[in-house]
Chain A
Amino acid sequence: MLRYLVAQSGDEIFRRRALLKTIQRSGRLAFTLVEHAFDHAFGPRINPFYHLGALSFFFFWVVTASGIYLFIFFETSIEGAYRSVEYLTHEQWYLGSVARSLHRYASDAMVIVVLLHLAREFVLDRYRGVRWYAWITGVLLLWFLYASGIGGYWLVWDRLAQYIAVVTAEWFDWLPIFGEPMARNFLNNAAVSDRFFSLLSFLHIGIPLFLLLGMWIHILRISVAKTNPPRAIMIGTLLALTVLSALYPALSQGPADLDTVVSVVRPDWFYLALYPLIDVWSPGVAWGIAGGGTLLLMILPWLPRRREAAAAVVSLPNCNGCGRCFADCPYSAVIMLPRTDGLPYDSQASVNPDLCTACGICVGACPTATPFRRKTELIAGIDMPLLAIRTIREKTLTATTKLEGQDRVLVYGCQPGIDLTGLAQKGVGVLTLPCVAALTPSFIDFVITRHHADGVMLVGCAAGDCYHRLGVDWTEQRLAGQRDPYLRGRVPRERIATAWVAPSGAKRLTQALDAFRSRLRDMGPYQKGGSLPPPSASPSSNHGEVSDAAYRLG
């Protein structure tokens, strides 16, 4: 019986996993199509789809700034609220109206961007395993975001606000928490008190503050979290919002009048979709949908859970506590602890397996992870049990021994990115790593200067959309001599190519590889003591965002 149950639940998990994969795959396809179009329009570095989380932060600040301006003129009374908003909209059309519209449209944009962020992390499978924490805190933030928005609709005190007030009151009255029905406040004009309005304004400041606190908690476990999108995106977005605000200012839908029943309002579908349901069905059903939906989202990381590959392991005899792995880990999984083995060093690296995604970026940062060491002694200070530095060295040698010609290329690719299986051919070897930044630069040195191949190509996720967030940036900075470990200055940069491509960029990748090989043929075989490029010469274009080589010191 027990065996039968186990077998059945195993079957069930298998089925669930298959269903999840199908949903994720089709979702990812949809995102890829849209992102591909945006890549074309803006280039991958400033594709807004790669900065959805950071964009949410940006919209929050736009809403805050415009909100502070509105607060100066807003009157917190039933009589004054509608009047003061009308004054801002019509009398002060140059600033007040723009501020109101910015406040409104940036909030709308934040909701849309947050929902896209949620969907995107889901289809990319970045919500399970060690990422459960960011997922759950993010789901809870939806409630704070929603509550902040409802408060904003309400304060305008137009007919939509009246509708929201009445329906919200009904909704909350269904819960047995208030001694007196809240709806009694909105029976008629005389029932609403100014004090209730002051309370609302207070809530409309307080809840967003809690939202901000929550956003901070949401990114706590992420190291070097990007809370600002690239400047071009910020400027472009703000400009677009301002133009929209000037052309189509946000307007009120007529003054609220509790003595009449609101019959026709135009609620925003993406914000207020639940409200007509509360009205038509019942508050209980709406609570069921909202609460049930939230619960479902919250347990999603365990339906089924994701098991990460074995976590990184520290080898104390090879670790002097230099802290480079700590500085580069995107998940704050590496911390520096006081020395435990009696060696006269201050600290040692330590891995928290609950946070490690086995991306290997720490190994790519370790100064002892060089292929130049003796095979039997090649244990890095920090290493991946499933793809140890020793194995990478062996695989590098295996992949290169059978290559022939003067245009031999070894491609180091990343596992979450574009599929590289079709790339291997005569003269091209392929080695896939968990992340392109899991490779220490000395491997590039090794392959080129030891004549294992004529050139090295690094293939990673689209720039700005690294699956492990920091892998592409770290790689570019290491090659450019801006981040440790540097690629040695005398390694000829013209023999290195980088291609940061989205899964849709197969054609572009093949073209880049062909062009690179043709350049290698022109160069002829590598000879030592050739060119001495300046250490800052980057093999690919230098981007402004890449220059942030700030170090976390442990």
Chain B
Amino acid sequence: MPLIAWDDRFSVGVTAVDHEHRELIGLVNETHERLKRPGADITVSNFLGEIYTRISAHFALEEKLMRASRYEHFSEHKADHEQLLDDIRDIMDDYEDRQVFDEERFAQRLATWFSDHFRTHDARLHHKLG
């Protein structure tokens, strides 16, 4: 079962952003699958590091679009981005320090964040950009 499922509500109406939303969810699910396989060719650190980087880059693009359209809720939206990046880094540090990776907690955190973020921030952005 995928960690996060794509939902059409996740679309913000900008091709590049939607593409990255799909890619991100795909990456999360796919890498997670690879991780669970016996004799996995990647480590938890790699998996988290890659997701962290891709999300950073995705936020960078979204923030550029928001700045360009003088999006009025920019600072809240940006703060939510920074918050998730901080959280992912904490989860990464937890793993490094204790070698425990709580998949459930990670999946939960990502899924909650994604759905909350899409429902509030990205939906508002959709109105603005779409």
In the bound complex, what is the Cα–Cα distance between A33 and B15 (angstroms)?
57
> Is B19 an interface position by the 8 A CB rule?
yes
What mask results when residues 54 to 97 of chain B are scored 1 for a CB within 8 Å of chain A, else 0? 00111111011001100000000000001001100110111011
Query: Hey, which chain B residues are within 8 Å of A450, CB to CB?
Result: 93, 96
Query: Hey, which chain B residues are within 8 Å of A529, CB to CB?
Result: 90
Query: Hey, which chain A residues are within 8 Å of B16, CB to CB?
Result: 320-321, 344-346
> Is B46 an interface position by the 8 A CB rule?
yes
> Is B103 an interface position by the 8 A CB rule?
no
Query: Hey, which chain A residues are within 8 Å of B67, CB to CB?
Result: 551, 553
> Is A372 an interface position by the 8 A CB rule?
yes
**Chain A interface bracket (under 10, 10 to 19, 20 to 34, 35 or more):** 20 to 34
Closest to A318 in B: B57
Residues of chain A in range 341-363 having any CB-CB distance to chain B below 8 Å: 343-346
**Chain B interface bracket (under 10, 10 to 19, 20 to 34, 35 or more):** 20 to 34
A489 close to B56 (CB less than 8 A): no
Query: Hey, which chain A residues are within 8 Å of B48, CB to CB?
Result: 372
Query: Hey, which chain B residues are within 8 Å of A489, CB to CB?
Result: 82, 86
Main secondary structure of the interface of B (DSSP, over half): helix
B52 close to A370 (CB less than 8 A): yes
In the bound complex, what is the Cα–Cα distance between A322 and B92 (angstroms)?
25
Contacts A449-B89, A528-B97, A535-B82 hold; do A373 and B50 have CB atoms under 8 A apart?
yes
B82 close to A484 (CB less than 8 A): no
B42 to chain A, nearest CB (A): 7
In the bound complex, what is the Cα–Cα distance between A372 and B67 (angstroms)?
27
18 example contacts (A-B, Cβ-Cβ < 8 A) are as follows: A321-B61, A322-B61, A344-B15, A368-B53, A370-B52, A372-B53, A373-B46, A374-B45, A374-B49, A374-B50, A381-B57, A481-B82, A484-B63, A485-B56, A488-B82, A489-B82, A528-B97, A535-B82
A contact set with B: CB distance below 8 Å: 318, 320-324, 343-346, 367-368, 370, 372-374, 377, 381, 445, 449-450, 481, 484-486, 488-490, 528-529, 535, 551, 553
B contact set with A: CB distance below 8 Å: 15-16, 19-20, 42, 45-46, 48-50, 52-53, 56-61, 63-64, 67-68, 82, 85-86, 89-90, 92-94, 96-97
Query: 17 other contacts beyond A370-B52, A370-B56, A377-B46, with CB at 8 A cut-off?
Result: A320-B16, A320-B20, A322-B57, A322-B60, A323-B64, A343-B19, A344-B16, A344-B19, A345-B19, A346-B16, A372-B92, A373-B53, A450-B96, A485-B60, A528-B93, A529-B90, A553-B67
Give the 7 A-B CB pairs with smallest separation, nearest first.
Answer: A322-B60, A372-B49, A374-B46, A367-B56, A367-B60, A322-B61, A344-B19
